[in-house]
């Protein structure tokens, strides 16, 4: 009987954790000058195991990315792939599903990384919410400097996001 209870608790916690994830993103890339540049960037991004689909909008230099369900997303890998193709991330807006996510002091964890909401006071974080990554490598320097609030007590990768 104890084994069954432990199994049920583990199963329920894993099911609720699986609902919390990034679902899609809009990635604006700077430096794209032609469709070949866009194609090289798209090809590089497609090598990431958590990306399900990519659609390019050449007029706005934006890639609309759909992430695979239940596969953790690594935002740093996205930035590295864009830079590896010879371009730069100008803006990354991602939709995160906050169902079953515990947000304490405007911070939460996902996929082994920590996320700090820099402007979340008084905002309800439930269901799908569009967030903008405001870290170096994801936003212009003026935006990054405005929101850079690294806490010395934090360990591991900490992303700063705004809503």
pTM: 0.81
Taken in order of first residue, the domains within the chain and their CATH numbers are: 20-162 (3.30.70.100)
Handedness of CA 63, 87, 162, 13 (dihedral sign): positive
pLDDT above 70 as % of the chain: 83
Q: Are 78 and 45 in contact (CB under 8 A)?
A: yes
Query: What pLDDT was estimated at residue 14?
Result: 41
Apex 19 CA angle, 15 and 20, nearest 5: 125
Residue 141 vs residue 134, higher pLDDT? 134
Q: Convert the pLDDT of each residue in 33-90 to its tens digit.
A: 888 999 999 999 999 999 999 999 988 999 999 999 989 999 999 999 999 999 999 9
43 within 8 A of 53, measured Cβ to Cβ: no
Strand order in the sheet with 107-110: 51-57, 62-67, 21-30, 88-97, 128-133, 158-162, 113-117, 107-110
Distance (Å) of CA 23 to CA 1, 7, 94 = 37, 28, 8
Q: pLDDT value at position 6?
A: 40
Chain mean pLDDT for the chain: 83
């Amino acid at each position: 009987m104890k084994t069954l209870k432990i199994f049920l608790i583990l199963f329920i916690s894993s099911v609720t954790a699986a609902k919390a994830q990034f679902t899609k993103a809009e990635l604006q890339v700077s430096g794209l000058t032609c469709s070949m540049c866009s194609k090289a960037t798209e090809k590089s991004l497609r090598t990431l195991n958590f990306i399900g689909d990519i659609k390019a909008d050449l007029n706005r230099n934006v890639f609309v990315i759909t992430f695979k369900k239940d596969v953790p997303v690594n935002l740093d890998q996205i930035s590295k792939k864009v830079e590896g193709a010879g371009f730069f991330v100008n803006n990354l807006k991602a939709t995160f599903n906050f169902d079953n996510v515990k947000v304490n002091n405007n911070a939460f964890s996902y996929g082994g990384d920590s996320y700090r909401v820099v402007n979340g006071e008084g905002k309800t974080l439930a269901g799908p919410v569009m967030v903008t990554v405001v870290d170096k490598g994801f936003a212009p320097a003026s935006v990054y400097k405005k929101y850079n609030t690294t806490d010395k007590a934090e360990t591991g990768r900490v992303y700063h996001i705004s809503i």
